[in-house]
Amino acid sequence: MKISFANVSVPKTGTLVVGILDGGTLTPGAQAVDEATGGALSRALKAGKFKGTKSHFLSVLAPAGKIVRVLCVGLGKAKDLDALSLQNLGGKIVSQLATHAPSIQVLVDALEGCDLDAPEMASNMALGARLASYRFDKYKTKKIKCHQPQLKNVKLLCAGSAQAKALYAPQDKIADGVFLTRDLVSEPANVLYPESFAKHAKALTKLGVKVEVLTKTQMAKLGMGALLGVAQGSDQDPRMVVMQWTGKPKRKGAKASKADAPVAFVGKGVTFDSGGISIKPSGGMEDMKWDMGGAGVVTGLMKALAGRKAKVNVVGVIGLVENMPSGSAQRPGDIVTSMSGQTIEVINTDAEGRLVLADALWYTKERFNPHTMVDLATLTGAILVALGDQYAGLFTNNDDLAQQLIDAGQAVDEKVWMMPMGNGYDKMINSPVADMQNVGERWGGSITAAQFLKRFVGDIKWAHLDIAGMTWSKSGKATAPKGGTGFGVRLLDRWVSDKVEG
């Protein structure tokens, strides 16, 4: 969908969108349209129950001349309008009009009492509209025309349109990253497997990202026994993809300093998780195509950061495997040796993501020595029991980092909740026959999983995001249609922008 901006004028044709404040007060743009249509909006408001309540809509059809439709949008109180509410509003406008018009024009006014000016309002509405426009229907061969989106162009009219366009430009690149993540998460496992996923990552070279793909043979030479153990039951060979964006190159002749160290993002990429020998129940197993959600977020984030030319050095590492049962599959009771040299007793082959991350985290730490590592994974069902689909679980060895991620999540409505860690939980994964086992007791499963990962990060500042409840939505929301959400891309981009970039 194309987003554009122009200075304020009252269009004489097409589909228009205007704002109505709480109590039925017309915004300046709505007043101008009302006058141009001979009072059609005022009459419609008087005839019905629409009073400008937040997120309520009133559609006025064929009010005058060549104006086909005016959608009156309830803004609520001006003082309550902020970036997130305007993004949601933009998304809801697209949902209301997606099947009704090929293009729309939205009049955006500066409002007394609102902390945002007109360009800021317009850019946020534009972002919401873009995010809401996502569809994944490439495999549908029969489409009902009246149900298909027609909307291709959204033009926002406001004072300071050039400023609005400039504010929106980086957000558009972030949306590109979100869409890539949604695409990856939505693909079926017969299409997206380790090798094909790696090819998607390779495409980021067009944006200036350096991409390396490690093969099974290379990982074996590095001693990645934990990751390779997960992959050994599948006909699909594993891959590890290393992506580097150097947005803040070292000055010529300058000595290397701590400031030159990158920030690293590490993602679990299980392209299909059957559970292996500890096989999952058949009901809902089709959802396990998106068990690569963490790797999807890291790849989308790298696209977002490179797309907006972020002034930061970033490494993205994703471990890509398929977890299948077969005669060669890993068995419960097997002991594997990770790249770190630590041995792991595999109690449950369905606790495989932490084995993949163990080697990916250690590799990232040893090769790049980042100042901070953040990993993402659809790691445990236990986090869904704890937090449902409202928050991702946050585990960390650094309280300041925790607060920064919480703040970034609140700013973009991708919320995280800090979970406890400690020695008591850590002891629950000690093994009598190896250095550790890959699962603990039944209780506190998301915590013991995080404790397992902590054993592979050393002294690096680190956070683990368990996004099992956030990667896929069966209902959707204003800026994320049901399906793959892309949760994590905007959160981590915001954290990089606020706390790392510079």
| Interval 14-44: pLDDT, tens | 999 999 999 999 999 999 999 999 999 999 9
Query: 206 to each of 203, 251, 303, 371, 375, how far by Cα in Å?
Result: 6, 24, 10, 27, 25
For 409, residues 6+ apart whose C-beta sits below 8 A from its C-beta are 392, 415, 416, 491
Q: What is the mean pLDDT of the chain?
A: 96
The residue behind tokens 């008087």 is 46
Residue boundaries of the structural domains of the chain: 2-160, 172-500
Q: Does 154 have pLDDT greater than 80?
A: yes
- Per DSSP bridges, beta strands 57-64 and 66-76 are antiparallel
- CA-nearest of 89, 27, 20, 29 to 49 is 20
Report DSSP state, residue 497.
Answer: I
Q: Is 280 a catalytic residue?
A: yes
Gap between the Cα atoms of 118 and 19, Å rounded = 13
Give the model confidence (pLDDT) of 229-245 as tens digits.
Answer: 999 999 999 999 999 99
Give the model confidence (pLDDT) of 182-201 as tens digits.
Answer: 999 999 999 999 999 999 99
**Full-model pTM:** 0.97
The residue behind tokens 């317009």 is 122
- CA-nearest of 383, 187, 372, 367 to 289 is 187
pLDDT band at 390 (very low <50, low <70, confident <90, very high): very high
Q: Does 254 have pLDDT greater than 70?
A: no
Give the model confidence (pLDDT) of 299-351 as tens digits.
Answer: 999 999 999 999 999 999 999 999 999 999 999 999 999 999 999 999 999 99
> What CATH number does the domain located at 172-500 have?
3.40.630.10
Instruction: Single out the catalytic residue among 130, 239, 354, 490.
Output: 354
- Give the model's pLDDT for residue 57: 97
Gap between the Cα atoms of 360 and 451, Å rounded = 16
- Give the model's pLDDT for residue 148: 84
- Give the model's pLDDT for residue 296: 98
Give the model confidence (pLDDT) of 398-448 as tens digits.
Answer: 999 999 999 999 999 999 999 999 999 999 999 999 999 999 988 999 999
- CA-nearest of 222, 314, 236 to 269 is 236
Give the model confidence (pLDDT) of 61-89 as tens digits.
Answer: 999 999 999 999 999 999 999 999 999 99
Q: Read off the pLDDT of each residue in 2-24 and give the average, rounded to a whole number.
A: 96
Provide the sign of the torsion angle of the four alpha carbons 170, 8, 117, 83, taken in this order. negative
- Give the model's pLDDT for residue 146: 67
Q: Does 253 have pLDDT greater than 90?
A: no
Instruction: Single out the catalytic residue among 69, 77, 280, 311.
Output: 280
- Are 273 and 468 in contact by the 8 Å Cβ rule? The answer is no
Q: Does 496 have pLDDT greater than 90?
A: yes
Phi and psi dihedrals of 210, rounded to 5? -85, 125
Gap between the Cα atoms of 269 and 272, Å rounded = 9
**CATH topology for 2-160?**
Leucine Aminopeptidase, subunit E; domain 1 (3.40.220)
Phi and psi dihedrals of 53, rounded to 5? -60, 145
Q: Does 270 have pLDDT greater than 90?
A: yes
Query: 16 to each of 11, 64, 92, 155, 163, how far by Cα in Å?
Result: 8, 12, 14, 10, 22
Phi and psi dihedrals of 19, rounded to 5? -100, 145
The residue behind tokens 């959707």 is 476
- Give the model's pLDDT for residue 256: 62
SS3 call for 357: helix
Do the first three CATH levels of 2-160 and 172-500 match, i.e. the same topology? Answer: no
Q: Does 152 have pLDDT greater than 80?
A: yes
Gap between the Cα atoms of 446 and 9, Å rounded = 54
For 15, residues 6+ apart whose C-beta sits below 8 A from its C-beta are 67, 68, 69, 70, 71, 97, 100, 101, 103, 104, 105
For 279, residues 6+ apart whose C-beta sits below 8 A from its C-beta are 325, 350
pLDDT band at 260 (very low <50, low <70, confident <90, very high): confident
- Give the model's pLDDT for residue 144: 75
Q: Is 138 a catalytic residue?
A: no
Q: Read off the pLDDT of each residue in 147-171 and give the average, rounded to a whole number.
A: 95
Gap between the Cα atoms of 144 and 331, Å rounded = 48
- Give the model's pLDDT for residue 269: 98
Q: Percent of the chain having pLDDT more than 90?
A: 95
Q: Does 255 have pLDDT greater than 70?
A: no
